[in-house]
A and B are shown apart, each in its own frame.
Chain A
Amino acid sequence: MSTRPERKGRSWLLLFLLIPFIVLLWPPFYNFREPSFIGIPFFYWFQLLWIIITAIITALVYFAGA
């Protein structure tokens, strides 16, 4: 009916979406004060940065696979 064969081959791309989970759900990766950025401790700016990185990954997966 409305199957799209080219999508099936691209489903491995979804694995990239696991990366933010692995990084953010392991606080030992980022539970530090240094190095700071414009006075903001690492713990904080790292997590904010990952908002942007996650958005980029999601956008890439969207454009590559849709």
Chain B
Amino acid sequence: MRTDAIAVFIFFFLLVTVLGFIAARWRRGDLNLIHEWGLAGRRFGTVVTWFLLGGDLYTAYTFIAVPGAMFGLGVLNGFFAVPYATLVYPLVFLFMPRFWAVCKQRGYVTAADFVKDRFGSRSVALVVAFTGILATLPYIALQMFGIQVAIAGLGIPLAISIGGVSVDLPLIIAFVILAAYTYTSGLRAPAMIALVKDVMIFIVLFAVIIIIPISLGGFGPIFQAVHAKAVANPKTFFDILSPTQFPAYITLVIGSAFALFLYPHSLTGVLSSSSTKAVKRNAALLPIYSLMLGLLAFVGYMAIAAKVQPLKGFGSNGIVPALINFAFPSWFTGFAFAAIAIGALVPAAVMSIAAANLFTRNIYVEYINKNATERQESGAAKLTSLILKFGALLFILYVPTANIINFQLLGGVWILQTIVPVFFGLFTRWFNRWALLIGWLAGMIVGTLMEFSGLITGTSAALVNVYKLQIGGFSLSAYSGIQAVVLNIVLVIILTPVFQMIGATRGVDATSPSDYDIGEPIPTKEAVPEALG
């Protein structure tokens, strides 16, 4: 245990805790109203939205899992994250303003709110809400894993015996802090902390990208070492793609890009901004984060060249803490691990808030307490967010770590199945609600079976993200999420006319075309002096 590193770590953690509590006072609103707690009253301008979205898109997956995958498996499993993070932004620009506009116009807080009105179907809304909550859980668990890894890097033992029971004390403390301030401040807490987090991450990133390559002699020697590893491990590690891997790469990219913006926490981030302009500006500015991600991916390769071995107990995912410990003085490692841990806390907070919004609006109010007061609504949301965090905590404590990274792609498989009602629904209401339900169900079942195929057949203890589909003599290896969603879409398209014919018609669309095109809100105060001449 290195006390100087731990001291620095604790200092920054305390700073962040204090900021979290102060956040309750920022841009004041009545936190008992759900759109204040859950969306910060939709008041965030461009800069804050940038930090929040970036803060919540760039998670422990980015700085632990991607470099870990690069280190252990190479380009296919690790680097797809770069084009994925690039293509997300044109998608945001194309789809998000429409989504923001209709949600603002109609007062929707979640995707399920939108779907219920658009397709006139409570069942489809329920399914969208359920999927959103389900898909977020493994993602939250992943963030907790990131915190655990960062704390382990400090040398703090993960298992402390309290009364004969083995307890992961550091992780539980981190959780209590997170739970406490998101409970009181809602979305404002992660937004304020996201600012701090990003500054810290930028500093660590610059240190890593500049100091380590210099000490290794530049990128040339780094990539030579990587190539040597590929030559030595031709079946398991790749430094460039082979043609049979192209479909896998392509589908991982496109699947992850669409999945990202279907997650409740991304939609929450978008809906909390003050205008479509802020949303669009962010689409142009957020790519800076993608550049960070790309450079962070190289960290996994740097570790290969530096001949560093991963921290024990986390597989390849232990490589980033190991490299940080190798390359930097002890006090700076405290700062770096604090950056990573805080970096995981922010998205975990936003994700749990978003999933809580979904549960409250689309399950609690819809089915449990129809006449809930606003206070009851926000109370339910706060409680749910707490429960989800503890659920994710249990996940981390009891699930073997080899699987946890793959859980993000598993979440992707599930959330992708909501693409037809949520995304396509922004442009057309042609789909029949029964067809939507069947398509969703088929996609969920097939996608889940593909992911668990290794466990089911006993051939692998890990989840299978790139599934080799074999039909007759034809075989294709592609992301299971894409394969499942293609089936989903095909079924919806085929079944919609079928259901229409047998009289099981579409629901009533409660939205109107002008809802989607709101542009900038026109201030009514200015109109009056104009009218007066």
Contact = CB atoms under 8 A, between A and B. Distances in A.
A39 B518 CA distance: 49
Interface in B228-245: 239-241, 243
B86 A50 contact: yes
Given A47-B294, A62-B280, A52 B519 contact: no
Residue in B86, B520, B522 whose Cβ sees the most chain A Cβ within 10 Å: B86
B240 A39 contact: no
Interface in A32-66: 32-33, 36, 38-41, 43-44, 47-48, 50-52, 54-55, 57-59, 61-62, 66
A2 B515 CA distance: 9
B75 A43 contact: yes
A27 B246 contact: yes
A32 B75 CA distance: 13
B79 A44 contact: yes
B281 A62 contact: yes
Contacts of A39: 218-223
A54 B246 contact: no
Contact of B93 (A4, A36, A38, A61): A61
Contact of B86 (A20, A44, A66): A20
Nearest to B241: A31
Contact of A3 (B85, B514, B521): B514
B413 interface: no
Contacts of A59: 284
Contact of A58 (B75, B287, B521): B287
B277 interface: yes
B158 interface: no
Contacts of B93: 14, 17, 58, 61-62
Interface residues of B, number: 46
Contacts of B283: 58, 62
Contacts of B89: 54-55, 58
Contacts of B287: 51-52, 54-55, 58
A24 B93 CA distance: 18
Given A1-B514, A17-B93, A31-B241, A51 B219 contact: no
Interface of A: 1-4, 7, 14, 17-18, 20-21, 24-28, 31-33, 36, 38-41, 43-44, 47-48, 50-52, 54-55, 57-59, 61-62, 66
27 contacts: A1-B514, A2-B517, A2-B521, A4-B517, A4-B519, A7-B519, A20-B86, A26-B250, A27-B241, A27-B249, A31-B240, A31-B246, A36-B223, A39-B221, A39-B222, A39-B223, A40-B223, A43-B241, A44-B79, A48-B291, A51-B85, A51-B290, A54-B86, A54-B87, A55-B89, A62-B280, A66-B280
Given A25-B83, A40-B223, A54-B90, 8 more contacts: A1-B514, A21-B87, A31-B240, A38-B220, A47-B82, A48-B291, A58-B89, A62-B93
